[in-house]
């Protein structure tokens, strides 16, 4: 939290395993009293009963302009780039799907937020590149040696 600015900030998280982000948001609120607005894909709002819960926790599917306004009001904004279109972390064969998206960089530039790098929790914990299934197999393959 020492790198978190007093004013607005864009928190970029890996959407494939957002638990780290959820815990960070809770910690920020608990220690500072600041809420963090979070973005999700619009498809999440089609799940019955989830819309009220998400809005209560400041989770929405804002436009770029709404994201800029959230930041200009001095708030924190969490964005998981790629969303459901790029939900699987890739290896060297990974191809970014740009389409017509400018993304979080455009929002940060327009809102004039300060750049401050923090450690990627995913990179800290994922030591074996590539498929999570391969990593699990390599981790637990010793179980089959005793059969």
**Which of the two residues, 129 and 37, has the higher pLDDT score?**
37
Residue for token pair 């993304």:
103
Q: Which residues contact 103 (CB under 8 A, 6 or more apart)?
A: 79, 81
pTM of this prediction exceeds 0.75: no
pLDDT of residue 139: 67
Q: Whole-angstrom Cα distance, residue 79 to residue 9? A: 11
Q: Which of 15, 61, 125, 144 is catalytic?
A: 15
Tokens of 15: 């959407």
**Which of the two residues, 53 and 136, has the higher pLDDT score?**
53
pLDDT of residue 113: 83
**Residue pLDDT, tens place only, 80-117:** 876 655 555 555 565 655 566 667 777 888 888 866 65
pLDDT of residue 83: 60
pLDDT of residue 75: 94
Q: Which residues contact 126 (CB under 8 A, 6 or more apart)?
A: 89, 132, 135
Mean pLDDT, range 2-6, rounded to an integer: 84
| DSSP class of 81 | T
pLDDT of residue 18: 76
**Which of the two residues, 133 and 125, has the higher pLDDT score?**
133
Tell me the angle at which helices 64-72 and 104-111 cross, rounded to the nearest 10 degrees: 40
Q: Which residues of 88-104 are buried (b: 16+ CB within 10 A; e: fewer)?
A: ebeeeeeeeeeeeeeeb
| 144 belongs to the catalytic site | no
Distance between alpha carbon 124 and the CA centroid of its chain, in Å?
15
Signed CA dihedral, 62, 38, 8, 20: sign only:
negative
Q: CA nearest 89: which of 127, 32, 41?
A: 127
pLDDT of residue 90: 55
**Residue pLDDT, tens place only, 5-63:** 889 998 888 776 677 888 889 999 999 999 999 988 888 888 888 888 888 889 998 88
């Amino acid at each position: 939290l020492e790198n978190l600015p007093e004013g607005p900030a864009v928190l970029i998280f890996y959407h494939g395993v957002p638990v780290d982000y959820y815990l960070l948001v809770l910690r920020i609120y608990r220690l500072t009293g600041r809420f963090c607005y979070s973005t999700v894909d619009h498809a999440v709002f089609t799940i019955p009963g989830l819309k009220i819960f998400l809005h209560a926790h400041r989770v929405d599917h804002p436009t770029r302009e709404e994201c800029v306004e959230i930041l200009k009001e001095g708030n924190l904004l969490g964005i998981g780039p790629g969303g459901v279109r790029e939900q699987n972390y890739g290896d060297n064969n990974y191809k970014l799907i740009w389409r017509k998206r400018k993304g979080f960089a455009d929002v940060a530039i327009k809102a004039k937020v300060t750049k401050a790098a923090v450690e990627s929790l995913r990179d800290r914990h994922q030591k074996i590149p590539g498929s999570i299934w391969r990593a699990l197999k390599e981790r637990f393959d010793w179980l089959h040696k005793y059969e």
